[in-house]
Structure 1
Amino acid sequence: MRILHTSDWHIGRSFHGHATLDALRGVLAALAAQVRDNDVDVVVVAGDVFDSATPAAACFPVLTEALLALRDAGAQVVVTSGNHDSSARLGFQSALLREGIHVVTDPASVGTPITIEDAHGPVHFYGIPYLEPTMVRSVWPGVELRTHAHALTHAMSLIGADRASREGRSVAVAHCFAAGVEPTPQLERDIQQGGLDVVPVSVFEGVDYTALGHIHGRQQLAEAVRYAGAPLHYSFGEADKPRGSWLVELDAGGLASARWLELPVPRRLVSLRGTLDELLTDPGHEAHRDDWVCAILTDPTPQIDPMRKLQTRFAWCANIKLDPQGAPAGDRASYAERVRDAASDPELIERFLSHVRAGQGPDDDERALIEEAVAEARVSELTA
């Protein structure tokens, strides 16, 4: 049996204020092409199908088109909910979906497989929706469920008990932060990345393959435990992470192979570093005119309207970071401390300029203008 492992579609997520639905629609169409080109039998989508528990109306047609395209390409589809999904919305009318499309959102169904046959016999797919401990205590009363690790451990024990009563191979589909992965900082939200909610990899022992979601870059925690990552880049922090899916093959004995299949990148991501003038004039940056650009400005002082200027050259400049270079080290006093210690209005203005200019205070001409402006203000106050 050939299985295509994908996850974290995040339908509806924006990229620095830019809509991504059209780009994602194209990538998901390429995913369906992978199904056709590789004779895939089953596609598993390991959670975070939507980016929000309340997705906009425009998100639903994207999901419908993708699921139908995968099914029309010849594969059955198993979808589970992630921490970003609303189980109720994702699972709405799941019983009415076309035959061969399975959406697993009910924790009470954990341990009940979706069984699909191949030439070697049955393969049992155990979908595990995202298990928020406070939400599943009523489902499993009497079970210790203080953390996500507790919930996954119990879910896998139910799966283990069911597996023991059946013949055949098995695949688990889950959405979690498993021990040993390298997250993208500030991207995988809402699950702690250290401490109580980390799930030990050993929890998934026993099944022939575990398809994980939540981490946006592909990772292999064990031969049979992998993350596929997101099919689209959603952060400049992901720029070096390839986009794709795992093509997993099961033979009669279990996992036979897992091969990475690349997906197209609609628009490359690049971070360009330099002064504003360098970024606007350096011919070496000409190749990035059509890329998503994160501009890291090294000017020692803030520049006027940098985004507008950058977008005259890089139409897809989406983010600016400031990393001033060459300014005097100065002291480390906070802005509040500098203001509090100012002995006069001119000194207060000088300290403000020094703060916003990364340590560079006014020059002699500016200092004269400050003195003149303060003097005029005092005269105006006296004559008002």
Structure 2
Amino acid sequence: MRILHTSDWHLGRSFHREGMLTHQGVFVDHLLEVVERERVDLVVVAGDIYDRALPQVDAVRLASETLARLAASRAKVVLTSGNHDSAHRLGFGSDLIDAAGVFIRTDASRAAAPIMLEDEHGPVAVYGIPYLDPDTVREPWQLAARSHAAALGEAMRRVREDLTRRGGARSVVLAHAFVAGRAEEPVQPSDSERDISVGGVSIVPTSVFDGVSYAALGHLHGRHTLSETIRYSGSPLAYSFSEASHRKGSWLVELGADGVSHAEFVEAPVPRELALLRGDLETLLADPALAVHEGSWVQVTLTDPVRPSQAMERLRRRFPHTLLLGFESTAPVVGALPQGHGPMRRDRDLVADFVAELRGAPASEGELALLGRAVDDCCEDTDVDVLVGAGAASVEEEWAEVLF
């Protein structure tokens, strides 16, 4: 049996306010091409079909079109709900949809009820375990601990019981969780993943999946091989700049008579590369080596000692898809204590230095007067600084003097 393992589609998600539906549609086209080209028998999608519990209409439309195309393909499909999905909404009508060869599993109580498939080597039991919220399943399952390990451990205990009754058929398990070899050595998550920790405990050990032919995991957005039989496919697209180094795609797994006989990673198309640029503004605008990133989504960190004026506008003339801009000035921190803890400085002096650091030029006398008045009005200390240019009746009048 040839299995294509994917997860974390997050249909409807944006990338720093840039719409991703078109790019997600390109991935769907790629997925269907792989199914036909590689003669895939089973597609498994391990959670987070949507990016939110109440997805936008266009995301639902893309999901519907995708499942219809998969139902018309040569492959069976099993998908589960993730922590971003609404289990009730995603699972609506699942019993009817089963008849089309698309099996949607969102009900924790059915985690040990497999979809039974056949190949030339005999039966294969496919268990779709949805995302398990420990608070939701703790009471009905009478869990001893409030943790993801306890919840998924109980689900897998039930799976193994079912497998025993079936005489040890080969098995595929879908799960959506934070799984790592050891709790003290977790796999590094990315910035686009939602924290699912409960009381600080989110990690599930790989030993939970002992005895399973293949565990298809979802939740982490980077691909990971925890063992030859336990893998994360990662998300098909990058959803944060922390994923700039990721290779996106799906696992193509060959399930033989005795379990996994082969696995290879099938890379997905990259609609737009990500680039992390760092340096002073003039260098970034002039460096010919950076021409390769002019069509990329770009995150820039400027190191100029003085914050440049209109930095984003100037960057976007060369890198039109610049989405994030940060500053890490090489100048001394404004307001930092001098070495040896010398005399403290007045609040108004710190504010004046802050304005000068941002502008690259000091405030005018009128602006200093207004800033001094504002600092003193915000301070309950009776020992206020002497106002520069005192005489205006109010802060509003001083603003008028500065502006007009």
TM-score by length of 1: 0.89
Specify the alignment match of 1:116 in structure 2: 117
Determine the structure 2 residue equivalent to 1:338. none
1:288 to 283, 288, 293: 293
- How far apart, in 2, do the equivalents of 1:188 and 1:250 lie? 30
Secondary structure of the 1:381 match is coil
Unpaired runs of at least 5, structure 1 = 335-340
The question of whether the paired residues in 2 share the 8 Å contact of 1:8 and 1:214 is answered with yes
1:288–1:314 CA contact under 8 A, matched in 2: yes
C-alpha distance in structure 1 between counterparts of 2:236 and 2:92, whole Å: 24
Q: How far off its partner does 1:14 sit?
A: 0.9
1:181-203 Cα distance to aligned partner (Å, 9 max, x none): 52234332122399522101000
AA paired with 1:179?
A
More displaced, 181-190 or 248-257?
181-190
Q: Which has the higher contact order (CA 8 A, sep 6+)?
A: 1
Distance 1:349 1:187 in 2: 36
Q: Relative to structure 1, is the Cα distance of residues 382 and 30 closer, same or farther in structure 2, using a 3 angstrom cutoff?
A: closer
Residue type of the partner of 1:198?
I
Matched with 1:80 is 80
Task: Tell me which moved more, 226-235 or 181-190.
Answer: 181-190
Alignment identity in percent? Answer: 43
* Unpaired stretches in structure 2, ≥5 consecutive residues: 339-343, 371-386, 398-404
Cα displacement (A) at 1:157: 0.2
**The 10-residue stretch of structure 1 (193-202 or 87-96) with the greater mean CA deviation from structure 2:** 193-202
Are the counterparts in 1 of residues 146 and 198 from structure 2 also a CA contact under 8 Å? no
Amino acid at match of 1:190: D
Question: Residue 219 in 1 paired to residue 224 in 2?
Answer: yes
After TM superposition, give the deviation of residue 344 of structure 1 in Å: 7.7
**One-letter amino acid matched to 1:332:** A
* SS of aligned partner of 2:74: coil
Partner of 2:380: none
Q: Indicate the residue corresponding to 2:353 in structure 1.
A: 351
Count residues with an aligned counterpart.
Answer: 371
Report the counterpart of residue 252 of structure 2 in structure 1: 247
Aligned mates of 1:266, 1:14 — CA distance in 2: 14
Query: How far 1:137 sits from its partner (Å)?
Result: 3.2
Q: 1:212 to 1:373 in 2, by over 3 A?
A: closer
* Deviation of the 1:245 alpha carbon: 0.6
* Worse overlay, 247-256 or 152-161: 247-256
- CA change 1:378–1:329 in 2 (3 A) is closer
Q: Map Cα deviations across residues 289-314 of structure 1 (whole Å, 9 max, x no partner).
A: 11111111111222233222211211
Query: Among 307, 315, 319, which residue is 2:320 paired with?
Result: 315
Matches within 5 A, 1:106-145: 106-140=107-141, 142-145=142-145
The 1:206/1:373 distance shift into structure 2, 3 A limit, reads closer
One-letter amino acid matched to 1:130: Y
Partner of 1:39: 39
What is the TM-score of this pair, normalised by structure 2?
0.85
Contact 2:12 2:21 in 1 (8 A): yes
Q: Partner letter of residue 125 of structure 1?
A: V
Distance of aligned partners of 1:284 and 1:194 in 2 relative to their CA distance in 1, 3 Å threshold: farther
Aligned positions of 1:291-310 closer than 5 A: 291-310=296-315
Distance 1:331 1:349 in 2: 9
Cα distance in 1 for residues equivalent to 2:195 and 2:350: 43
Q: Any idea what SS the aligned residue of 1:58 has? A: helix
Cα distance between partner residues in 1 of 2:197 and 2:310: 37
Q: Quote the residue 1:158 is aligned against.
A: 158
Provide the alpha-carbon RMSD of the alignment.
2.8
Where do residues 176-191 of structure 1 align in structure 2 (5 Å cutoff)? 176-180=177-181, 181-191=186-196
2:71 aligns with: 71
Change (3 A) 1:39 1:194: farther
What is the distance in 1 between the residues matched to 2:7 and 2:335? 48
Give the partner amino acid of 2:245. D
How many Å separate the matches in 1 of 2:198 and 2:357?
35
Query: Would the aligned equivalents of 1:217 and 1:230 in 2 still touch at CA under 8 Å?
Result: yes
Matches within 5 A, 1:363-378: 366=362, 369-370=364-365, 374=369, 378=389
CA contact (8 A) 1:184 1:238 kept: no
Greater shift, 163-172 or 129-138, is seen at 129-138
User: Equivalent residue for 2:237?
Assistant: 232
Deviation digits for residues 221-254 of structure 1, max 9, x if unmatched? 1110000000001011101110111001111111
User: Shift of the alpha carbon at 1:274?
Assistant: 1.4
CA deviation profile, 1:5-34 (whole Å, cap 9, x unmatched) = 000001111101111011011012101111
Matched AA of 2:354: F
Distance change in 2, residues 1:143/1:281 (3 Å) = same
Alpha-carbon distance change, 348 to 295 in structure 1, aligned in 2, over 3 angstroms:
closer
Corresponding residue of 2:332: 328
